[in-house]
Amino acid sequence: MKPLPIDISDFEMVINKGCYYIDKTLLIQEIMDSGASVTLIPRPRRFGKTINMTMLRCFFEKNEQSKRHLFGHLNIMQCPDIMAKQGTYPVIFLTFKNVKCLDWEQCYGKIKILIALEYERHSYLLLDDNLKSHEKESFSAIINGSALPQDYENSLFILSHYLHRYHKKQPIILIDEYDAPIHAGFVNKYYNEVINFVRNLLGAALKDNASLDFAVMTGILRIAKESIFSGLNNLEVCTFLNEAYADKFGLTEAEAAQLLQDYNLSHKSDLVRTWYNGYSSGSISVYNPWSLINLAKQKGLMHPYWINTSSNDIIKELIKSGSDSLKEDIEQLIAGKPLRKRIEENIVFASVYAQTEAVWNFLLFSGYLTFKNVALEGRMTMADLVIPNEEVLYFYETTILAWFEEGMGSRHYNQMLTYLTIGDLDSFTAIFYDFVAKSFSIFDVSGNEPEKFYHGFVLGMLVSLKNSYTITSNRESGYGRYDVMLMPHDHNKRGIIIEFKKTNQAQHQTLEAAAANALQQIEQRDYTAQLRSHGINTCICLGIAFEGKRTFIKGYSCST
């Protein structure tokens, strides 16, 4: 068996070391056929962006020693008109994938080094009379790090002109993971500085540049803040929603099947599909490539390989601090039900925390959701959003459990739920009071908003009780909408209905009166109707009243 390229994302190294390679070289033909001046291909992390970009560099770049042999056994050899272009272009190549710093000074320093290394790679331009004396001084200043900020902002534009002049051929610009520093800037509070720099760098290099043949960029998102791509009328953006490049990032069903066969794992294909497939890419479904390669390396061990490659801090904070409606939607997703949402391919980071719609698009294009049934409804693009597979579902569940670890600990939380399901309401109540005191702050909730708290509570139940109960919230039953219902898979067990109430302070309502009011609402609106229709004969009814962090519970068992 060939070695698997777990820690190798450079195409030339993968081929030269004889590593396993899933042939994506027809990406070259698709790019050439598109005719786009600037192409941006956003994909989630670890979806093959860097190996594809280094493959493009190896194919197009003019070198003293030909690299044609790297493609000798690959699909692109079937395209003689495209192969005629192999090794004929000057290429500018940058990858920002490792530019993830804690402050702008470190970030800017790393970017300067990357630009300097690319200049140094083309230092043959300093020889003879290719450059004028002042141009040589500026070129050398970029390399030694003494150039001014505006010189670095214009560096790719200037280098493209030098290469065009020397080679008598317009160069290609390839920029991998362009938005990695922007993500870091958002998390670490230097967003404006990095946005301004990247906008100026890309704007100078890609807008109306007569010395540019074409450019290809990859990243996770299309960043729209103050339009980082302002004025780029020649930009073609190809996300997961598009048919363009749909099979070039991620593994198709056929590619996944071949990999499993090559590593004697075909017998696990159904389980592998459940764990790692499910990402819609255009009209096809693709597997997470990082996870499949690691799966083969680990001889078929199912594990959340992709999820564990990042801290996921932004995603966790978005869910944790989200509104009650967002938590309710997360409940629906974890329960396996789709959300119909508006799709907006431009991401404005500043709105991600402020606008729920922005959160869904951020989760979609980052790989934490996927889409089905895209359609234009009026003037808006709408799609059903779903969790793609078991690996990503694992992330949501472990994130939710971690919240309870922060408060009372998952063991005590699960113990509390056990008391609830067996009908030991006294023991449940005792632990629940402690749970409320410790968990309100976790969900960033004020005492006047128990609705937000109870959605966090329900998310915990979804994770902890999903194997035994179907948990729903804010759904219709009888003559109204209950707050929470637990419907047991075993119909011989009790169903559970929970109604939350905050006290009416204007009427000086007591906690006990509010809890009694909640129980009365369950009875009057016949919330047990749904349980009854499913053949569940007994039910636990709970009224839970809140006033700040003070709470009171009344409950009983009854026939449905």
Answer for the pair 310, 46: CB distance below 8 angstroms, yes or no: no
Residues paired with residue 216 on neighbouring β-strands, in sequence order:
39, 174
Answer for the pair 97, 48: CB distance below 8 angstroms, yes or no: no
Q: Locate all alpha helices (DSSP H) within 61-148, ordered by sequence.
A: 80-83, 104-121, 133-144
- 402 contacts: CB under 8 Å, gap ≥ 6: 316
Residue 102: predicted pLDDT = 95
- 294 contacts: CB under 8 Å, gap ≥ 6: 6, 303, 305
Residue 447: predicted pLDDT = 46
Other CB atoms within 10 Å distance of the CB of residue 371? 22
CA distance 49 to 435: 45
Other CB atoms within 10 Å distance of the CB of residue 144? 10
CA distance 514 to 502: 7
pTM of the shown model: 0.88
CA distance 369 to 334: 11
H or E stretch covering 61: none
Q: Which of 511, 398, 504, 539 shows the shortest CA–CA distance to 459?
A: 398
Q: Which residue shows structure tokens 């349980």?
A: 531
Q: Which of 200, 206, 247 shows the shortest CA–CA distance to 226?
A: 200
DSSP for 216-251 reads EEEES-EETTTTTTTT-TTEEE--TTSSTTTTTSSB
Q: Give the mean pLDDT per block of 10 residues along the chain (560 residues).
A: 93 97 98 94 95 98 94 96 97 96 96 98 92 95 96 97 97 96 91 93 93 96 69 83 96 98 97 97 96 96 89 74 76 89 80 73 92 92 96 89 68 85 92 77 53 72 86 70 88 91 82 92 91 92 84 89
CA 157 to chain CA centroid, Å, is 31
- 209 contacts: CB under 8 Å, gap ≥ 6: 157, 160
- 515 contacts: CB under 8 Å, gap ≥ 6: 501, 543, 544, 545, 552, 553, 554
Residue 150: predicted pLDDT = 95
Q: Which of 499, 466, 473 shows the shortest CA–CA distance to 393?
A: 466
* Single-letter amino acid code for the residue at 256: A
Q: What DSSP state is assigned to residue 467?
A: T
Residue 347: predicted pLDDT = 74
Q: Which two tokens stand for residue 429?
A: 């109540």
- 117 contacts: CB under 8 Å, gap ≥ 6: none
CA 412 to chain CA centroid, Å, is 31
CA distance 445 to 321: 9
Residue 445: predicted pLDDT = 46
* Residue 505: exposure state from Cβ atoms within 10 A (0-12, 13-18, ≥19): exposed
Cα angle at 324 between 316 and 543, to 5 degrees? Answer: 120
CA atoms within 13 A on the CB side of 538: 9
